[in-house]
Structure 1
Amino acid sequence: MKNYSVLLRPYQWIKNLLLFSPLFFSGNFVNRSLLYITGIGVFVFCLTSGLGYIVNDWIDKENDRFHPIKRHRPFCRGTITGLKAFFLSGCILLIIIICIRLFPFPLEFICYLLAYMILTASYSLYLKQIVILEIFSVAFGFVLRVLAGGAVCNIEISNWLFLTVFFIAMMISIAKRLTELKELGEKNAILHRKSQIGYSLTYLNSMFWTCGSVTLVVYSLYAVEHGSLVIYSVLPASYGIFRFIYLTDLGRGSDPIKTLFSDKQLLLTTLIFLFVLTLVIYWP
């Protein structure tokens, strides 16, 4: 079971909580019926993410052997065979289909789910080899989660939310490649990820700071537009972004989820940010 857990990477499923963001920012998070159907949508996306990790790890099993951490994944070690992975994938796909049949998901949500499946499969098979486009592909996967979250509860997505999620996702993706290039060195980084052949530390750092700056500008414009106490949420947001940049510079940006939960300052800043927004949006 431990090997299957490593293969499905459930700790990464926290990214799918982005589906709740449209509900949260719209002030409808206390609506039980919308919260329920969005929760089921998150569950379906978690299963879909797990399915994507299986496909990605199978395709990358040879390249992952050049990475000090990824070489311990089940396919690289041979602890899970292709046949077992195929059976597991079939079971997960069956559960996804059953959920779609049982619950009243809007057609738009199903379209976004299919788009996410196609994007992750395309990324694993081909897009990850193309410089810059592979970073955009990962970032757009985050945006699709937000769009799906809006679709499942019939809430229109704010332009500010769309842009903020896109640029912060770009920032996270670039941080991962920066850390790989520093940790593995140019030769091994290219063997592990073919797209690394087109990157340099200077270029990635420029992209990294640009996306961080744009994220702050876009969110600040959102805060100014909404006025009131929302403007104060810019303070923890700014600190969190600069803290993440600092941690990435130390070589700790390869896995944003682990970085978040292993750094007390970043975690506390995130909680303060969410607390401020909760007070502003839901305080009577």
Structure 2
Amino acid sequence: MGALPLIIDLDGTLIHTDMLHESALRAVRDNPVEALRIPYLLTHGKAVLKRRLAQGGSFDATSLPYNTAFIEWLKQQRSAGRKLILCTASDRLIADAIADHLGVFDEVMASDGVVNLAGENKAAALVDRFGRAGYDYAGNSRADLPVWRHARRAVIVNAPANLARAAADCCEVERSFAAPDAGLNVWRRVLRVHQWLKNLLLFVPLFAAHQFADPEHWVPLMLAFVAFSLCASSVYIANDLLDLESDRQHPRKRNRPFASGAVPAWQGVLCVPLLLLASAGVAWHVGGNFFVWLAGYFALTCAYSWLLKRLMLVDCLALAVLYTLRIIAGAAALSMPLSFWLLAFSVFLFLSLAYVKRYAELQVQVLHGNKKAHGRGYYTSDAPLIQILGVCSGYAALVVLALYLNSEAVLMLYRSPEIVWGSVPVMLFWVSWMWMKAHRGHMHDDPLVFAVKDKASLLAGGCFAAVLAVGAVGWPW
């Protein structure tokens, strides 16, 4: 192997993300007013914008989604005596932090607030420094083609097949590293399709009022389900984009598509408005006050993503309201009055589940030796108190259920109201079971996702539905 230096690109090559996009997202999250200046700064050139964003906030170089296979190969090259130079269009403040963390580079070349070291600018800088065919270059995008034209050899990283062929036309290809798969399964995780199960709560008012046999009610509810699902997916994407650093410090959330770099952040930014427009279009055809409640849900989720999830206790109250809003929206889609009992029961039950979620997250942080949950307003020492609050909230929901079963509404809806009392011990078991599993560290980050996969929870749900059904139609003998 020749002694020519190997020049390595950063964004999309060394890491599975783009630092300009991440810096912009961090600005939107931490300083929205400053983020509004991005178009103005861009008129002065990308180098100016990158320097301003780099100065605007710190980032954790240790948690970035590094291309581990490529880095291992770089370490082998350095051990063999090859000089490695990080040459990136990202700002030097960012490049230096990453280089210091990895400790494999002999030198750093980067944008400096004046010159944007990308494309032709990068090629010119490398030719001035090393001459034509005086270096080898590792890159991943079409912006690297001018650099490869003047290189001796190309190392192709995370590039599509057509770009790999274009790079091979420029110079000899030394090595290729395949791009990670971003197929349908990855996009299913991006949209959080499994979370759409929560939107089945829209159907609760229909079943609670025993109106499920009326076919006219199903069309608006199905449209409402689609609208809520699209809206929820847009919010999940926005939340993931704004929570990249926290997710990367979580043992499971670090594998989410945006946190891991499996899907570029810019694609998520593009998806959010498209999903919202589609959601609004469907919601407009539902009728009633559904559109208003959907807009309220979206506004609260935005507030949760930007601020509320960082506020102790307020975050759990917000989650409980978000769950309950689905039930309210379902009633609005049918222009159906909402029962006070159903509303009260829902608020307390979902507050308990919100505490389960936070308690489970704190348990994970305890196991990893952390004293504080990153991006949240809790210390791990708060876990016992969160557990108490959650158990009390769950049992408060059961008290509401028991009082409801003694009301006149039950006499009107159920032929055998005494049978419906069987729902109380079923719910008592389930709430206690959920908290027992959380206490033992077996709870998923999302308790509803856990419930639909947990056999005991599914059995409890089946028993609950059976009790209500028998109470509604009466004993068959």
TM-score by length of 1: 0.93
SS at match of 1:224: coil
Q: How far, CA to CA, are the matches of 1:6 and 1:189 in structure 2?
A: 30
Q: How far, CA to CA, are the matches of 1:104 and 1:202 in structure 2?
A: 44
Q: 1:282 to 1:54 in 2, by over 3 A?
A: farther
Q: How far, CA to CA, are the matches of 2:283 and 2:446 in structure 1?
A: 31
Q: How far, CA to CA, are the matches of 2:371 and 2:451 in structure 1?
A: 24
Q: Does structure 1 residue 148 correspond to structure 2 residue 329?
A: yes
Could you say which residue in structure 2 is the equivalent of 1:70?
253
Q: Does structure 1 conserve the Cα–Cα contact (< 8 Å) formed by 2:363 and 2:380?
A: no
Could you say which residue in structure 1 is the equivalent of 2:272?
89
Q: How far, CA to CA, are the matches of 1:178 and 1:104 in structure 2?
A: 37
Q: Does structure 2 conserve the Cα–Cα contact (< 8 Å) formed by 1:58 and 1:75?
A: yes
> Higher RCO, 1 or 2 (CA under 8 Å, sep at least 6)?
1
What whole-Å deviation, never above 9, does each CA across 1:108-144 have from its counterpart, x for those lacking one?
2111100000000110001111111111001000111
- The within-5 A match list for 1:189-204 is 190-197=372-379, 200-204=382-386
Could you say which residue in structure 2 is the equivalent of 1:271?
462
- The within-5 A match list for 1:8-19 is 8-19=191-202
- The within-5 A match list for 1:76-225 is 76-101=259-284, 103-106=285-288, 108-185=289-366, 188=370, 190-197=372-379, 200-225=382-407
SS at match of 2:262: coil
Deviation at 1:193, TM superposition (A): 3.3
Could you say which residue in structure 1 is the equivalent of 2:427?
237
Give the aligned residue type for 1:249. H
Could you say which residue in structure 2 is the equivalent of 1:262?
453
1:27 to 206, 210, 224: 210
Q: Does structure 1 conserve the Cα–Cα contact (< 8 Å) formed by 2:309 and 2:315?
A: yes
Query: Which has more helix, going by share of residues?
Result: 1
- Count of residue pairs brought into register by the alignment: 282
Q: How far, CA to CA, are the matches of 1:264 and 1:126 in structure 2?
A: 36
Q: Does structure 2 conserve the Cα–Cα contact (< 8 Å) formed by 1:129 and 1:193?
A: yes
Structure 2: gaps (5+ residues): 1-183, 412-416
Q: How far, CA to CA, are the matches of 1:263 and 1:191 in structure 2?
A: 26
What whole-Å deviation, never above 9, does each CA across 1:139-185 have from its counterpart, x for those lacking one?
00011111101111011111111111111111111111111111212
TM-score by length of 2: 0.57
Which structure is larger by alpha-carbon Rg, 1 or 2? 2
Could you say which residue in structure 1 is the equivalent of 2:237?
54
Could you say which residue in structure 1 is the equivalent of 2:436?
246
Q: How far, CA to CA, are the matches of 1:88 and 1:209 in structure 2?
A: 38
Structure 1: gaps (5+ residues): none
Q: What is the alpha-carbon root mean square deviation over aligned residues?
A: 1.9
Q: Does structure 2 conserve the Cα–Cα contact (< 8 Å) formed by 1:135 and 1:173?
A: yes
Q: 1:121 to 1:30 in 2, by over 3 A?
A: same
Q: 1:82 to 1:151 in 2, by over 3 A?
A: same
Q: Percent identity?
A: 28
SS at match of 1:156: coil
